[in-house]
């Protein structure tokens, strides 16, 4: 079992930046691929970014490529999502997720989920 807790969400103006963190506890963090997903009201949860166990492979949704950066610190058991040039369309609840395997971009491939953190971007 892996427990995930997100933090760092909040209210930010369009064009601003925010860094989300996801702290993992439980089993060995470094064996898990990690992902960030988001869910806006009335929409399905969508992929945002993912990173492999070592941090050497990253994937991004087209909508955030060039603006968001995913990273991890295995010693701290934490994965980050640095978000820049934020747009009101980025407003959503952001979830981190873990899977015991290779990095993936599909929601159903992840085994463990955090409770989410709200990000609101005002225009």
Tens-digit pLDDT profile for residues 40-60? 999 999 999 999 999 999 999
User: Does pLDDT of 122 surpass 80?
Assistant: yes
Judging by DSSP bridges, how do beta strands 117-122 and 10-13 pair with one another?
A: parallel
- Please give the average per-residue pLDDT across 11-36, as a whole number: 94
When the pLDDT of each residue in the chain is averaged and rounded to a whole number, the result is 96
- Contact between 2 and 112 under an 8 Å Cβ cutoff? The reply is yes
- Say what percent of the chain tops pLDDT 90: 93
pLDDT of residue 30: 86
């Amino acid at each position: 079992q892996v427990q995930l807790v997100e933090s760092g969400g909040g209210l930010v103006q369009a064009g601003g930046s925010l860094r989300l963190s996801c702290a993992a506890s439980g089993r060995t963090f470094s064996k898990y691929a990690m992902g960030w997903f988001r869910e806006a009201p009335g929409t399905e949860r969508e992929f945002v970014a993912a990173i492999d166990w070592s941090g050497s492979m990253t994937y991004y949704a087209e909508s955030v490529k060039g603006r968001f950066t995913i990273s991890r610190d295995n010693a701290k058991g934490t994965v980050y999502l640095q978000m820049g040039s934020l747009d009101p369309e980025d407003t959503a609840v952001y979830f981190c997720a873990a899977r015991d395997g290779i990095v993936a971009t599909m929601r159903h491939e992840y085994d463990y989920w955090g409770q989410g953190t709200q990000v609101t971007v005002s225009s």
